[in-house]
Amino acid sequence: MGVHSMKRLVLTLLLCVANPAWGSDEGFNGRWVIEPLGDNNGRVMWLEISGAGAGPISGFMVGGGPGGQLDPIHDAKIEGGQLAFHLERLFRRDGSRLIKTPVVAALQGDVLHGAAMRGQRTILWLGKRAPALLDRDDGSWKQSEPVALLNGRDLSGWHTLRPGREEGWYVEGGILKNHRRADLLVSDQAFWNFRLQVEFLVHPGMNGGIGLRGRYEVQILDDHGTPASDHGNAALYGRIAPTVNASRPAREWQSLDVRLVGRELTVELNGVKTIDRKIIDGFTAMATDWREDMPGPITLQGDHGAVEFRKIVVTPLTQ
């Protein structure tokens, strides 16, 4: 399906809604949380647009293209009330394989109706404006009763994102481990503001991630001795880089101490504060829950290599 076919598809979506109200070009601006329609393996998306109706249009998208990173949009324009752009991703270091993902969207009232073309597959979606999260880490939050999410015996308290794939995770010697290509593991409990304490081990060349509220990924990576980056160990994946790389070598146990209040994030890796009350702009690639103003689960990524966990404790914060 080409871009013109996708535009017709989005227009059909709008015409199926009673009394459609086309929005102004400026209405596209802002940050949007996106719920895909149909089967998208439980993943959600995020979009930011600026400049619509006033000049060159720019922005970023998470989850629209392959790989799910924070991708800049390209060649954005609005014609006939519809926004069209594409995402780009290089899949070879020499640039010989460039994948382009066309995306179109139309605004009805305060809802975006859109579609993204991944290969031969079209993903339809609905976007709503990202909510304002007013909580601040201002010293008024107190720790309540800790919740231990690992029991050292089995997967009680957890489920996989796609039902029936629990065999990708197992407990051995009191340690939570994963098989290759394990599905995302999701805590049964949901949390809002909290302190999260994790002890983990990553195998050589491997990586994983820990999802906060099922929306924001703290990266786990074997990157000892390399420069700190927004894709490195203890980074907020693709968004916030640690101030320093405090990673230990592969196969050594490491500790994460994460504090999340509203959108404010603080991270300590192995006793070193690496992110200090930085604001999270929006979702990362691990996002599975688009309801950003609601409590969400802790999630564990296991499809990028061997990782191990021996402690995951969440302490809710209350006022």
Q: Is the pLDDT of residue 94 over 70?
A: no
pTM: 0.91
Mean pLDDT of the chain: 90
Q: What integer pLDDT is reported at residue 2 of this predicted model?
A: 56
Q: What integer pLDDT is reported at residue 41 of this predicted model?
A: 65
Give the Cα separation of 217 and 178 in Å (integer).
18
Q: What integer pLDDT is reported at residue 304 of this predicted model?
A: 85
Q: What integer pLDDT is reported at residue 303 of this predicted model?
A: 86
Cα(first)–Cα(last) distance of the chain, in Å? 52
Structural tokens at position 61: 């998208």
* pLDDT, tens only, 8-42: 555 555 544 434 455 689 999 999 999 988 766 67
Q: What integer pLDDT is reported at residue 85 of this predicted model?
A: 96
Region 263-275 average pLDDT: 98
Among the listed residues 270, 266, 242, the one whose alpha carbon sits nearest the alpha carbon of residue 139:
266
* pLDDT, tens only, 218-263: 999 999 999 999 999 999 999 999 999 999 999 999 999 999 999 9
Contact 165, 156 (CB under 8 A): no
99 pLDDT tier (thresholds 50, 70, 90): confident
CA angle 207, 213, 216 (to 5 degrees): 45
Choose between 9 and 54: higher pLDDT.
54
198 pLDDT tier (thresholds 50, 70, 90): very high
* pLDDT, tens only, 112-146: 999 988 777 888 999 999 999 999 999 999 999 99
Render the burial of 267-286: b for 16+ CB within 10 Å, e for the rest: bbbbeeebbeebebbbbbbb
Determine phi and psi for 5, rounding to 5 degrees: -65, -40
Judged by DSSP in three states, 315 sits in strand
Contact 300, 254 (CB under 8 A): no
Q: Is the pLDDT of residue 92 over 70?
A: no
Q: What integer pLDDT is reported at residue 17 of this predicted model?
A: 46
Region 186-193 average pLDDT: 98
Give the Cα separation of 42 and 59 in Å (integer).
24
